[in-house]
Amino acid sequence: MATISDEERDGNGINQTPLRIPELLYVSVKMENPIRALAGNLFPHVFCSSALLGDCLDSSKAILMERESASMWELSFVVPQNHEALDFKFLLKPKDDNSPCFLEEGPNRVLVAGALQDGARLASFKLDNDHAVEYKVFVQASKVSSFDLAASWRAYKENFHPSAVRGIPDVSINSEVQTESENVSSASLELDLEHYVVPAPSSSPNSSAVYAADMTENPRSRNSGYGSNSYSAGDDSGYVDQPETEMEVNTLVPSRVYECRKLVKSLSVGTMSTLRKEDGQRGPFVDRGVGFPRIVKSSSLKSFTVDLSLDTDTENSFPAAAGAVAAGAVADQMLGPKEDKHLAIVMVSLPARGKTFTAAKLTRYLRWLGHNTKHFNVGKYRRLKHGASQSADFFRADNPEGIEARNEVAKLAFEDMITWMQEGGQVGIFDATNSSKQRRNMLMKLAEGRCKIIFLETICNDVDMIERNIRFKIQQSPDYAEVPDFEAGLRDFKTRVANYEKVYETVEEGSYIKMIDMASGRGGQIQVNNISGYLPGRIVFFLMNTHLTPRPILLTRHGESQDNVRGRIGGDPALSEAGELYKQKLAKFVGKRLKSERAASIWTSTLQRTILTAGPIVGFPKIQWRALDEIDAGVCDGMTYQEIKKNMPEEYESRKKDKLRYRYPRGESYLDVIQRLEPVIIELERQRAPVVVVSHQAVLRALYAYFTDRPLKEIPHMEVPLHTIIEIELGVTGVQEKRYKLMD
């Protein structure tokens, strides 16, 4: 079994006499949520009696902790690995004054080798009138080499000093940007946020909390199809891109227009691909995504053949994804055992530990990457077969009728999942407590030779979080919809949890992933055992970066650009007059919406129309991502759709046929955009503070589809209008959306 943590780093396994590099400890001391301190103008400090932190015996020289997020303060420092004992206490006092001053109660804390000797996790303070308060504290330590530390410092200095990219800093911290607000009427900068609210699309999440189990698959006996979440997109021909302003069509340079296609055989892999001739050059080109040759395995031979049909229905083929995703899927099919083609993620947990929420989140992520994934919730099967009003006695371990009934619906749900896999599904998320070895052994026998099982166990020891989850479940679960007395429902559910706790057995068998106290985003641990392969590795990486901390993500396109006015795609134009107005209104909006946030950040692409749009926003760091750049239109960059239709009719029709997989010549497809956005998604999941993303239409369509769990085929047609802010609220209740339209 391997335990993944920040403290461990894998070596390269080469047996050489290594260069002796001094190892240091990067220590992070944190204090959680000193609300009373902030209200009383008191801030957390570290009062140290060791020379390692300046030998500050004088409380006036205590070191101020920095705010890491809305609820966490941090002090980080580097010490030798074998450093002397570091004595310190926490202190509450004003920033620039020494009175009042409240020192932590009890003896000094002692830090040796990055670990607290007494293990205490609470800091107690006795404030005015002998009122005592306690705050949680944490200490984390990671090994770093002096070389790594020097490299980090160089990177910090390079990134946080302005550089000249179009005269605008790559990364700026609270930079004061001159605005033109004096040229904008006060009426046009209305600050009543609700004044701007507009309805979200009908297919988006509701503004109210959604119970995740209700969004899972229905039993097949109640459906003619695959379940309640079987998506179908409308006819693509109904979507036509209209430039915002009609204009005269210019004649293109002949050398920019592609000639006819031909099929050639690749000598390296023996498959067919399209050949294009441009500027007198001949040779095979990388597939552009539409009508690509489909790899089909022979039923009698261990080989793959090529299907040259232009059928775009990939429901039963490997995932319709790009780059690494498609390569990983093909490798799994060609090299893996038969059952590895289908993967079952079997959840394991006590109730109210975030199991269903984690399952829904993982389902959304895998679908967005292009893997055919469905979420099967056994509780939903139980309610449909045995009713929703079962009391806690139904879940007792000494109730044979209840055990038989629960095993029956578990088998039914598992068989439905296997049947769906055999019809083309790839990853099934099997959502139930599965809290005993007996139940898990039953599932492993059902899966033999049919699919690979990975157990995903969620363990939570945070009493407050468990209590919040229980109360949310009583409010939202259909099990208690007909229980008018909230307290009675609460008592019944806690009895149900106690029944499970009596017989709960943690996972120690097979392949498994354990998430231990990961929900809060304040550390925790992931343990993995017998995990290998492309997709399981991606799942582990994703789970390492998820948590339940509520925070908003604001998505907005740049202000209207000069090319928007002309109807041209791509390019790197400046803003139009309307775009200049929008950037001022956006700054006002963000300033009010996030006025209580200190750890928020502004993300833009590297194109000037997003950088200029975010320019007037002050008080937050601004970070440019090349991954947030607009879809690359290749040789069509700077053209209008009418020009493409007239001069490149074949390209125009190919794009109209399948906008999702169509790749502009020498450019990108929507699937390419999704692939390069995956690091952005991981970082958005990891963030615990609000993020404002100022980007482009294709990019925001892909991001919006991820958060709202929309099918890939719908992405190119989603509504992401100019001068509108889409607020996505992430938290334990799921994902809610709100839209603000700042300009007509």
Of the candidates 506, 522, 545, which is a domain's last residue?
A: 545
Mean pLDDT, all residues of the chain? 76
Task: Say what the pLDDT of residue 301 is.
Answer: 36
Statement to judge: residues 540 and 644 lie in one domain: no
Same domain flag for 606 and 516: no
The last residue of one of the domains, among 155, 176, 198, is 155
Residue tagged active-site, from 630, 651, 678, 737: 630
> 538 near 325, Cβ under 8 Å?
no
Select which of 56, 460, 678, 723 is catalytic.
460
Given a cut of 90, whether residue 703 has pLDDT beyond it is: yes
Final residue before a domain boundary, out of 130, 155, 180: 155
Q: Is 510 exposed, middle or buried (0-12, 13-18, 19+ CB in 10 A)?
A: middle
- Residue 716's pLDDT band, with cuts at 50, 70 and 90, is very high
Question: Which CATH number belongs to the domain containing residue 562 in this structure?
Answer: 3.40.50.1240
Q: Was 563 annotated as part of a binding site?
A: yes
Pair 556, 541 in one domain = no
Angle between helices 378-386 and 400-422 (to 10 degrees): 120
Domain span at residue 442 reads 338-545
Does the annotation count 630 as an active-site position?
yes
| Helix residue ranges, H only, 484-602 | 486-503, 534-544, 562-566, 577-593
Whether residue 290 lies inside any domain: the answer is no
Q: Say whether 430 sits in a helix, a strand or coil.
A: strand
Number of domains the chain contains: 3
Q: Would you say 629 is a known binding-site residue? A: no
Q: Would 232 be classed as within a structural domain? A: no
| Confidence grade of residue 432 (pLDDT, cut at 50, 70, 90) | very high
State how far the Cα of 498 lies from the Cα of 500, in Å rounded to an integer.
Answer: 5
Selecting among 104, 217, 416, 431, the annotated active-site residue is 431
The rounded distance, in Å, linking the Cα atoms of 85 and 114 is 10
For residue 599, tell me if it sits in a domain: yes
Asked if residue 608 and residue 729 are part of one domain, the reply reads: yes
Annotated catalytic residue 558: yes
Q: Which residues contact 423 (CB under 8 A, 6 or more apart)?
A: 226, 316
Dihedral angle computed from the Cα positions of residues 149, 151, 156 and 157, in that order, rounded to the nearest 10 degrees: 120
In a domain, 450, yes or no: yes
Q: Are residues 563 and 651 in the same domain?
A: yes
350 and 489 in a single domain? The answer is yes
Q: Which residues contact 320 (CB under 8 A, 6 or more apart)?
A: 314, 370, 660, 661, 671, 712
Residue 564 labelled as part of a binding site: yes
Of the candidates 685, 728, 683, 690, the residue with the CA atom closest to the CA atom of residue 599: 690
pLDDT in tens, 147-201: 666 766 665 555 544 443 344 444 444 443 334 443 444 444 456 777 778 877 7
The residue with tokens 């006002």 is 588
The answer as to whether 299 is a domain residue is: no
Q: How confident is the model at residue 289 (pLDDT cuts 50, 70, 90)?
A: very low
501 belongs to an annotated ligand binding site: no
Does 519 share its domain with 560?
Answer: no
Contact between residue 417 and residue 363 where contact means Cβ atoms under 8 Å apart: no
Domain harbouring 508, CATH code: 3.40.50.300
What was the pLDDT predicted at 82? 72
Confidence bin at 518 (pLDDT 50/70/90): confident
Residues 432 and 403 in one domain: yes
Of 67-76, 259-268, 378-387, give the lowest mean pLDDT range: 259-268
- Global model pTM greater than 0.75: no
Give the mean pLDDT of 443-463.
93
In a domain, 55, yes or no: yes
pLDDT of 619 reads: 87
Are residue 493 and residue 609 in the same domain, yes or no?
Answer: no
- CATH of residue 121: 2.60.40.10
- Domain assignment present for residue 575? The answer is yes
Residues 358 and 465 in one domain: yes
Question: Is 678 a residue of the active site?
Answer: no
pLDDT at 413: 95
Q: Is residue 559 part of an annotated ligand binding site? A: yes
Mean pLDDT in residue range 91-110: 82
The string of pLDDT tens digits covering residues 643-663 is: 999 999 999 999 999 999 999
Mark whether 466 and 360 lie in a shared domain.
yes
Residue keyed to tokens 């179908």: 232
In this structure, the answer to whether residues 496 and 585 fall within a common structural domain is: no
pLDDT digits (tens, 9 = 90+) for 567-599: 999 999 999 999 999 999 999 999 999 988 878
Q: Which of 558, 672, 678, 709 is catalytic?
A: 558
Q: Report whether 82 belongs to an annotated binding site.
A: no
66 belongs to a structural domain: yes
* 723 part of the active site: no
